[in-house]
């Protein structure tokens, strides 16, 4: 059954285990391809991960003059092909979330490939495997649907997912505020 | 066993020419399951792979766990015994030369003998730790009493779990850190969490913690700082450090006044209710608010939620325990569960977040000054006789009880203790009042340190013995649930390093005590003797064979025999471990912290951990990723306080107390009380916050008051204008 990366930003505890894990999939040259930000530095401890959303029509790939950024049949937007990437860095500018990273020494772009060596065989990506708070999860569409229903955010005040800058994405996101819709037990 | 909704059958990636060895993390009491990736050609650990099938943590790990494997083949490993001939270099990294095991053993045996002939058996001491297997912890206790014949053995659990132990023993008559398995946590209706920065210190509990709220349940957090868990709590009780007992009494009073006391449970299963009820009467919301600094409406709300919850778990950690009334704090919060009867059934109970990997098991089997295996008392002649049978010594040969960890340093200063064998601990960073502790270590006649890295404490040693990391040996540890689990060996020891149990057997032979130790040839041999030694004690591990641990995904103690499956839930029969089977509700008069703020020292200093480091940082500060994330300590200051002191973010300040000082960068955050500053304690030398902390000890647990003392600060440097 197809599973997706699913994010619940409200849960993030800022442990950056997702960054550590991204270096450990065995195929990432021990460099992480994801980000975690302090939302309100100097104020509180809220943090959130910034992950590649694996857009259905990705700006990075569209901007690439050398067709170095391929889209895998699972929908994963892959890291640039070493033999094709010309190091122009268009993609790093085109991506509205600033996901692609650039290695100046190798003159090569690299980005999250959704741990393709794992996910193509149905094995969860490293970041979602380790995330201690369930901010990052690896779920079926049905499970994602259930979670969205559970959070019951169609109250006019909160939305659970934005029309993203790049419209449809393979990764699904729940914004902070999910608990607003929860009915308390007593 | 206990596979819950978070459990998913996932497969693992196995790269070509690799195998996976299933084991657990090297660090904290969560003991997250993990697989170590081992290259079959080189037999070297090269990475980590999630262990999805471990029921407690289902593949999850914090960044320490993800990078833990990098310890094993690290460049800083000590590969051969080291000897330092020039004692004037003590306290530095200098002057060590490589030596053979033979030379090191001979030197140690001669020096130990010399000291004991001249100054008596008790001139030697053992200071150990609980970040090692039950087998090693057990043998260390035996080594001190049988091979060295000294009364002076104690361990770093005194700085970690001793108050929880003391409180549980008083309230329940038994000290199992959690009365219920972690797989219950997310199913309860209310978590009352006091003095635990859970998101940073036990991160892999968090998916269960958050799930309580997702189900519509409540989280109440008592903490002077707005930690990541406090940020999302339904009620954050932002108390002054060191006032927990007032808060616990205040909440208990409200529970009783508002009719949440379970009279039937109280009458049938507890003692001490009436006098406690009288005592807490005084703790009205207003008075409690005055003492703790928490708004009374928050106190009232917290009591209401906890009282109304059909099921609830009270949880706590070092925040309440590392105080000179730590034991009272533990019993005080435990009172909440006993008075409302929310204990002794699934989804309700009391739990402490055990700090070290084997903080639970390591405190049960005889490393503590007054304990013997199976949680037996060295002052109880029957207990002594039982252990003597296993050890094959006479009761007369059993040493008397010793003194607590910090008090051993006092005896070193007085020259009562002249020799030290230190293992699995780094008190030169983790003990309080470090100027004193470091001087005591420096003045020892002879010190041996066993470690796999040259720790700050090893800098005081005459001989350093290279021990192995957790991944180069096997054995059991007991996680924070009380579940006995198995650590597996993933590679051969590097260099000439050896497991501590083997070092102790060989040293015992040199000391002429071979007949008590030589039969222990493998970790399994030690395990078998240890199970037998625990048999019949409160912490009975006899039935927890390695086989059963493997088949059942761990075994909860007590586990008395082959057919016993273990005890995931404690007190289901409502029988507590005091002689009359009843629990004790404790009447606990409030005492303020040992050192209250005054004009000269107007701030409250509290200390704690960050997610990237473990304990003294001797291991984690060497791991690149973790060091990059948190390279140095800092002092957290509220912006209004910073303004008063004319300080900016990243300014350097001199922070000082009556005992010491250190210089830190300021980290401005609104997520802390205005009267409190916070510094993480994982750093060595001049960066250690424990240079400043106070050694006020709890009268029962002898736990130092790490969590609060009076401090002052001043700016030392104007930030450069860019
Ligand atoms: S691992 Fe999860 S909780 Fe930790 S920083 Fe990443 S997203 Fe946040
Ligand atoms: S999916 Fe894989 S490559 Fe992408 S951020 Fe997560 S760990 Fe890194
Ligand atoms: S340090 Fe603790 S929480 Fe982190 S991975 Fe290790 S056992 Fe798990």
Q: Hey, whose CA ends up nearest to atom 3 of ligand 1?
A: A12
The dihedral through the CA atoms of B415, B421, B425, B426 has a sign that is: positive
* Residue keyed to tokens 């083997």: B502
- Which residues make beta-bridge pairs with B237? B222
Both tokens of B231, joined, read 């940020």
DSSP H/E element including B37: strand B33-39
> What is residue B483's DSSP assignment?
E
Q: What is the mean pLDDT of residues B652-667?
A: 98
CA–CA separation, B211 vs B696, rounded Å?
39
pLDDT computed for residue A126 by the predictor? 97
| Cβ–Cβ under 8 Å, residues A95 and A59 | yes
Quick check: CB of A17 below 6 Å from ligand 1? yes
CB neighbour list of residue A60: distance below 8 Å, 6 or more residues apart: A69, A77, A91, A94, A95, A99, A100, A111
Residues A118-162: pLDDT tens digits? 999 999 999 999 999 999 999 999 998 888 887 766 555 555 555
CB neighbour list of residue B458: distance below 8 Å, 6 or more residues apart: B422, B449, B451, B464
How many Å separate Cα B411 from the centre of its chain? 24
Closest CA–CA distance from residue B427 to any residue of chain A (Å): 27
pLDDT computed for residue A173 by the predictor? 85
Both tokens of B460, joined, read 């005081």
Rg over alpha carbons for chain B, rounded to the nearest Å, is: 24
Residues 208-227 of chain B with CB under 8 A from chain A are 210-211, 213-218, 226-227
Residues B477-487: pLDDT tens digits? 999 999 999 99
pLDDT computed for residue B323 by the predictor? 98
State the pLDDT confidence band at B64, using cuts at 50, 70 and 90. very high
Q: What is the mean pLDDT of residues B270-298?
A: 98
CA–CA separation, B53 vs B70, rounded Å?
23
Of B62, B67, B227, the CB nearest to A15: B62
Residues B315-347: pLDDT tens digits? 999 999 999 999 999 999 999 999 999 999 999
Residues B409-433: pLDDT tens digits? 999 999 999 999 999 999 999 999 9
DSSP H/E element including B377: strand B376-377
Burial of B94 (0-12, 13-18, 19+ CB in 10 A): exposed
Of B67, B203, B649, the CB nearest to A13: B203
B206 vs A13: CB contact, 8 Å cut-off?
Answer: yes
CB neighbour list of residue B231: distance below 8 Å, 6 or more residues apart: A44, A45, A46, B671
A17 vs B210: CB contact, 8 Å cut-off?
Answer: no
Q: Is the pLDDT of residue B722 over 90?
A: no
Q: Pairing state of beta strands A47-50 and A35-38?
A: antiparallel
CA–CA separation, B222 vs B229, rounded Å?
10
B30 Cα nearest atom in ligand 3: 7
Both tokens of B375, joined, read 């949680």
Comparison of pLDDT for B51 and A155, the residue scoring more: B51
State the DSSP string of B463-482: EEEEB--GGGS-EEEE-TTS
Q: Which residues of B touch A129 (CB under 8 A)?
A: 10, 50, 52, 59-60
Q: Is the pLDDT of residue B578 over 90?
A: yes
Taking residue B286's Cβ as centre, other Cβ atoms within 10 Å add up to: 11
Backbone angles phi, psi at A136, to 5 degrees: -105, 125
> What is residue B102's DSSP assignment?
H
Q: Which residues of A touch B203 (CB under 8 A)?
A: 13, 15, 17, 132-133
Both tokens of B137, joined, read 């912890």
Q: What is the mean pLDDT of residues B81-91?
A: 97
pLDDT computed for residue B720 by the predictor? 58
How many Å separate Cα B585 from the centre of its chain? 25
Cα separation values, A1 from A140, A141, A144, B523, B584, Å: 7, 9, 13, 44, 53
Q: What is the mean pLDDT of residues B608-619?
A: 98
Q: Pairing state of beta strands B376-377 and B371-372?
A: antiparallel
Q: Which residues of B touch A14 (CB under 8 A)?
A: 199, 228, 611
CA–CA separation, B23 vs B550, rounded Å?
11
| Cβ–Cβ under 8 Å, residues B138 and B373 | yes
Both tokens of B175, joined, read 């000290």
State the pLDDT confidence band at B1, using cuts at 50, 70 and 90. low
Backbone angles phi, psi at B49, to 5 degrees: -140, 135
pLDDT computed for residue A124 by the predictor? 97
Taking residue B307's Cβ as centre, other Cβ atoms within 10 Å add up to: 21
Of B66, B228, B308, the CB nearest to A130: B66
| Cβ–Cβ under 8 Å, residues A104 and A31 | no
Residues B458-477: pLDDT tens digits? 999 999 999 999 999 999 99
Q: Which residues of A touch B189 (CB under 8 A)?
A: 185-186
Residues B297-322: pLDDT tens digits? 999 999 999 999 999 999 999 999 99
Q: Pairing state of beta strands B583-584 and B555-556?
A: unpaired
B63 vs A150: CB contact, 8 Å cut-off?
Answer: no
The count of residues in chain B is 722
Query: Which of B514-537 are b and which e, b meaning 16 or more Cβ less than 10 Å from the residue's Cβ?
Result: eebbeebeebeebbebbbebbbeb
pLDDT computed for residue A167 by the predictor? 75
Q: Which residues of B touch A44 (CB under 8 A)?
A: 226, 231, 669-671
Taking residue A165's Cβ as centre, other Cβ atoms within 10 Å add up to: 12
| Cβ–Cβ under 8 Å, residues B274 and B583 | no
First to last CA, chain A: 37
Both tokens of A115, joined, read 């741990």
Nearest-ligand number for the alpha carbon of A53: 2
Q: What is the mean pLDDT of residues A47-52?
A: 96
pLDDT computed for residue A163 by the predictor? 55
Both tokens of B294, joined, read 């928490």
CB neighbour list of residue B299: distance below 8 Å, 6 or more residues apart: B237, B247, B250, B251, B254, B285, B288, B289, B292
pLDDT computed for residue B635 by the predictor? 98
Q: What is the mean pLDDT of residues B147-170?
A: 97
Residues 169-208 of chain B with CB under 8 A from chain A are 189, 199-200, 203-207
ipTM comes to 0.96
Q: Is the pLDDT of residue A73 over 80?
A: yes
pLDDT computed for residue B373 by the predictor? 97
State the pLDDT confidence band at A25, using cuts at 50, 70 and 90. confident
Mapped onto helix, strand or coil, the DSSP state of residue B718 is coil
pLDDT computed for residue B542 by the predictor? 97
pLDDT computed for residue A176 by the predictor? 79
Q: Hey, whose CA ends up nearest to atom 4 of ligand 3?
A: B62
pLDDT computed for residue B39 by the predictor? 97
**Residues of A at the B interface, defined by Cβ within 8 angstroms:** 10-11, 13-17, 19-21, 23-26, 42-47, 117-118, 121-124, 126, 129-134, 150, 179, 182-186
CA–CA separation, B51 vs B446, rounded Å?
44
* Residue keyed to tokens 């497991």: B499
Taking residue B294's Cβ as centre, other Cβ atoms within 10 Å add up to: 24
pLDDT computed for residue A180 by the predictor? 79
CA–CA separation, B487 vs B476, rounded Å?
6
Whether the bond into B558 is cis, omega within 30 of 0? yes
Backbone angles phi, psi at B451, to 5 degrees: -160, 165
CA–CA separation, B353 vs B110, rounded Å?
42
Mapped onto helix, strand or coil, the DSSP state of residue B557 is coil
| Cβ–Cβ under 8 Å, residues B391 and B384 | no
- CB hemisphere CA count around B174 (13 angstroms): 21
CB neighbour list of residue B16: distance below 8 Å, 6 or more residues apart: none
| Cβ–Cβ under 8 Å, residues B323 and B593 | yes
Mapped onto helix, strand or coil, the DSSP state of residue B622 is helix
The answer for B375, left when phi > 0, alpha when psi is -120 to 50, beta otherwise, is left
Residues B187-237: pLDDT tens digits? 999 999 999 999 999 999 999 999 999 999 999 999 999 999 999 999 999
Closest CA–CA distance from residue A23 to any residue of chain B (Å): 9
> What is residue A81's DSSP assignment?
P
| Cβ–Cβ under 8 Å, residues B366 and B373 | yes
A127 CA to middle of ligand 2, Å? 6
| Cβ–Cβ under 8 Å, residues B348 and B187 | no
Q: Is the pLDDT of residue A30 over 90?
A: no
Quick check: CB of B28 below 6 Å from ligand 3? yes
Closest CA–CA distance from residue A121 to any residue of chain B (Å): 9
DSSP H/E element including A173: strand A172-174
| For chain B, percent of residues with pLDDT exceeding 90 | 98
DSSP H/E element including B661: strand B661-668
pLDDT computed for residue A153 by the predictor? 61
* Residue keyed to tokens 């005592």: B279
Rg over alpha carbons for chain A, rounded to the nearest Å, is: 17
Among A101-110, B133-142, B506-515, the least confident range? A101-110
């Amino acid at each position: 059954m197809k599973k997706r990366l699913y994010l619940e930003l409200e849960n993030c505890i800022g442990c950056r285990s997702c960054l550590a894990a991204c270096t450990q999939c065995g195929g990432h040259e021990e460099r992480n391809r994801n980000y975690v930000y302090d939302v309100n530095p100097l104020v509180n401890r809220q943090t959130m991960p910034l992950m590649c959303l694996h857009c259905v029509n990705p700006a990075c790939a569209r901007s690439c003059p050398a067709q170095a950024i391929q889209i895998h049949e699972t929908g994963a937007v892959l890291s640039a092909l070493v033999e094709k990437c010309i190091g122009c860095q268009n993609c790093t500018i085109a991506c509205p979330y600033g996901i692609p990273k650039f290695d100046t020494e190798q003159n090569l772009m690299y980005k999250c490939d959704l741990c393709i060596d794992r996910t193509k065989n149905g094995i969860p990506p490293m970041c979602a495997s380790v995330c201690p708070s369930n901010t990052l999860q690896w779920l079926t569409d049905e499970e994602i649907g259930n979670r969205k229903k559970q959070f019951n955010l169609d109250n006019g005040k909160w939305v659970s997912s934005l029309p993203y800058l790049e419209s449809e994405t393979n990764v699904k996101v729940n914004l902070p505020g999910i608990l607003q819709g929860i009915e308390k037990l007593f | 066993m206990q596979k819950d909704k978070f459990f998913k059958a996932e497969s693992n990636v196995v790269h070509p020419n690799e195998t996976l060895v299933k084991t657990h993390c090297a660090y904290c009491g969560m003991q997250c399951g993990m697989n170590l990736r081992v290259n079959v050609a080189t037999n070297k650990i090269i990475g980590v792979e999630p262990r999805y099938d471990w029921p407690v943590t289902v593949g999850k790990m914090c960044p320490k766990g993800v990078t833990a494997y990098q310890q094993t083949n690290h460049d800083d490993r000590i590969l051969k015994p080291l000897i330092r001939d020039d004692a004037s270099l003590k306290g530095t990294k200098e002057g060590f030369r490589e030596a053979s095991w033979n030379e090191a053993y001979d030197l140690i045996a001669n020096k130990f003998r010399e000291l004991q002939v001249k100054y008596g058996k008790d001139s030697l001491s053992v200071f150990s730790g609980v970040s090692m297997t039950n087998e090693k912890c057990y043998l260390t206790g035996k080594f001190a009493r049988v091979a060295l014949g000294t009364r002076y053995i104690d361990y770093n659990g005194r700085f970690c779990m001793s108050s929880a132990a003391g409180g549980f023993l008083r309230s329940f008559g038994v000290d199992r850190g959690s009365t219920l398995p972690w797989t219950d946590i997310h199913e309860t209706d209310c978590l009352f969490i006091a003095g635990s920065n859970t998101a940073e210190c036990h991160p892999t509990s968090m998916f269960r913690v958050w799930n309580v709220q997702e189900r519509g349940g409540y989280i109440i957090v008592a903490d002077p700082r707005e930690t990541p868990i406090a940020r999302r709590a339904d009620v954050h009780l932002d108390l002054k450090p060191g006032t927990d007992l007032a808060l616990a009494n205040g909440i208990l009073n409200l529970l009783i006044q508002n009719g949440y006391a379970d009279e039937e449970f109280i009458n049938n299963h507890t003692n001490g209710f009436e006098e406690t009820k009288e005592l807490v009467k005084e703790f009205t919301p207003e008075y409690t608010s005055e003492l703790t600094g928490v708004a009374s409406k928050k106190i009232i709300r917290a009591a209401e939620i906890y009282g109304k919850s059909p099921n609830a778990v009270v949880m706590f950690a070092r925040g309440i325990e590392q105080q000179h009334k730590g034991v009272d704090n533990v019993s005080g919060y435990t009172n909440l569960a006993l008075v409302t009867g929310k204990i002794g059934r699934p989804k309700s109970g009391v739990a402490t977040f055990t700090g070290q990997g084997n903080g639970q098991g390591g405190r049960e089997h005889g490393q503590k000054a007054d304990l013997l295996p199976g949680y037996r008392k060295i002052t109880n002649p029957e207990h002594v006789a039982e252990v003597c049978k296993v050890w094959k010594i006479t009761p007369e040969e059993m040493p008397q009880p010793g003194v607590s960890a910090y008090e051993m340093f006092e005896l070193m200063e007085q020259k009562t203790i002249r020799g030290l064998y230190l293992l699995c601990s780094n008190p030169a960073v983790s003990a309080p009042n470090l100027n004193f502790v470091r001087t005591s270590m420096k003045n020892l006649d002879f010190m041996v340190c066993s470690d796999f890295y040259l720790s700050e404490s090893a800098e005081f040693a005459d001989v350093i013995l290279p021990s192995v990391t957790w991944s180069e040996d096997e054995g059991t540890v007991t996680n924070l649930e009380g579940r006995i689990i198995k650590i597996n060996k993933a590679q051969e020891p590097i260099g000439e390093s050896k497991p501590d149990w083997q070092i102790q057997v060989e040293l015992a032979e040199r000391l002429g005590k071979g007949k008590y130790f030589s039969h222990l040839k493998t970790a399994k041999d030690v395990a078998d003797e240890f199970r037998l030694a625990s048999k019949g004690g409160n912490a009975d591990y006899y039935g927890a064979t390695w086989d059963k641990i493997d088949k059942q995904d761990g075994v909860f103690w007590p586990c008395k025999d082959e057919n016993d499956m273990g005890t995931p839930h404690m007190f289901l029969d409502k029988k507590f471990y005091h002689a009359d089977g009843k629990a004790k509700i404790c009447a606990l008069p409030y005492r303020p912290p040992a050192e209250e703020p005054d004009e000269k020292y107007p701030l409250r200093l509290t200390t704690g951990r960050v997610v990237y480091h473990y304990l003294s940082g001797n291991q984690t500060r060497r791991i690149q990723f973790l060091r990059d994330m948190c390279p140095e300590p800092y002092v957290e200051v509220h912006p209004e306080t910073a303004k008063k002191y004319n300080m900016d973010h990243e300014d350097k300040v001199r922070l000082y107390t009556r005992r010491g000082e250190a210089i830190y960068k300021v980290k401005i955050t609104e997520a802390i009380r205005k009267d409190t500053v916070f510094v993480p304690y994982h750093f060595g030398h001049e960066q250690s916050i424990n240079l400043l902390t106070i050694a006020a000890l709890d009268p029962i647990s002898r736990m130092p008051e790490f969590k609060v003392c009076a401090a002052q600060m001043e700016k030392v440097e104007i930030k450069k204008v860019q």
